[in-house]
Structure 1
Amino acid sequence: MAEGIPLRTDDGAPVIVRRSARRRRTVAAFWEDGNAVVAIPASFTKSQEREWVRRMLAKLKTQGERRSAGSNKSKPATDQALEQQAAHLSRTYLDGRAVPSSVRWVTNQNSRWGSATPADGTIRLSHKLQPMPQWVIDYVLLHELAHLLVAGHNADFWRLLEAYPETERAKAFLEGVAFATARGLTEGP
């Protein structure tokens, strides 16, 4: 990490180091808008910064939660990619029974993560999901696919989602995001 040279991950993503006066001892790393962000205390020396950035980038790499646009595990950034992911999820968890007429990202959903209209088979996901982990996006997409088969949130509906192993985790994640957002806690960790 030479001075003045932009930091990059092994796969070429930009690295942003955020120093925080409020952060005392903890260090965090996360993905934000395609950048690897490492949050450190403002009191860290340059040597401590280098060491912790190295450690946290290694941790991000092993976690495998990054889905860059160029990787095989990329997040569905386009409507076409989202439709392909919906087809995959339907085949995997719903025996291919949910067949939407369209699946697309929208920017006008501010109070919902997604919506489905069973009558015409359309599914819309909020663009606010895009920076979230893929398992969360998949849960919301599968949730909306299930609505094409069962309109309400009755026992039959929830039985459809039992096969997805991340259902409870994703629901908790989204509840946490909603809680933090409602209280103005929108900054990274």
Structure 2
Amino acid sequence: MAQREREFTRQDGLRVKVVRSTRRTRTVSAAWRDGTAVVSIPARLSAAEEEEWVATMLERMLKRKTRVPRSDGELLERARALSERYLEGRAAPSSVRWVGNQQRRWASATAVDGSIRVSERLRDMPAWVQDAVLVHELAHLIADDGHGPYFKSLEACYPRHAEAHAFLHGVEWATARAGGPSGAPPPAAEPDEDWMRDWQPDEDDGDWGRY
């Protein structure tokens, strides 16, 4: 048998496939395929060596994956990977791009054409916060109940979504207190149900699923 495969899912939800190949003698490689981390190793490695190499390669892959996307192309690739990992690939964005004209919202999505726009203000924020925003918008490409139960169940598939909510709420609160560019008043102690959006949305432009 030229190769043998085994698959497993880590506690954090990451799907992993390990491929042992008799044709591979000295090298170990890893790549993302349809949201799954595929690690290829020589068949001769012991179980302990396999475990060590898989852990090493996954760590390297995840470090690259959490690099903050800078171009629109990287942003689209990130969104598609998040859809595969957390939403079973059901959200298929046609475009994801950075925009500089969304000063009162974090991002917006249009389900009709599958487009997502992300505010430039998120560029320097942690990658996991950006990911939470992207999953929020990806969920809007699937759900048709606004911010209803189905939408919330999709958004909750991202394990740090509540933490990201708190982070962005803190940013808005601090910006408002400092009299920042948003010009928004300090938020109430108990934010409303849709507190992922900014406090004063821009005029309606026909989009939905906005932060």
Higher relative contact order (CA 8 A, sep 6+): 2
- Aligned positions, number: 116
Residue of structure 1 aligned with 2:102, choices 109, 112, 115: 109
Report the equivalent of 2:75. Answer: 82
Query: Cα 1:169–1:185, aligned 2, differ >3 Å: closer, same or farther?
Result: farther
Please say if 1:180 is aligned against 2:179.
Answer: no
Please say if 1:145 is aligned against 2:138.
Answer: yes
> How far apart in 2 are the matches of 1:104 and 1:126?
9
Deviations 1:112-164 (CA, angstroms, capped at 9, x unpaired): 00000001110000010011001100000110000001141000000002221
> How far apart in 1 are the matches of 2:147 and 2:70?
28
Residue 117 of structure 2 aligns with an amino acid whose one-letter code is: R
- Identity rate of aligned residues, in percent? 52
Gaps of 5+ in 1: 1-70
> How far apart in 1 are the matches of 2:80 and 2:113?
17
Deviations 1:37-93 (CA, angstroms, capped at 9, x unpaired): xxxxxxxxxxxxxxxxxxxxxxxxxxxxxxxxxx72421100000000001000000
Please say if 1:96 is aligned against 2:89.
Answer: yes
CA-based RMSD: 1.3
1:183: Cα distance to partner?
Answer: 1.2
1:185: Cα distance to partner?
Answer: 7.0
Report the equivalent of 1:123. Answer: 116
Please say if 1:161 is aligned against 2:155.
Answer: yes
TM-score (norm 2): 0.53
TM-score (norm 1): 0.59
Runs of 4+ in 1 over 3 A off after TM superposition: none
Gaps of 5+ in 2: 1-62, 181-211
1:140 aligned counterpart, secondary structure: helix
2:96 aligned counterpart, secondary structure: strand
1:147 aligned counterpart, secondary structure: helix
> How far apart in 2 are the matches of 1:91 and 1:182?
36
> How far apart in 2 are the matches of 1:175 and 1:122?
25
Residue of structure 1 aligned with 2:165, choices 150, 164, 171: 171
1:103 aligned counterpart, secondary structure: strand
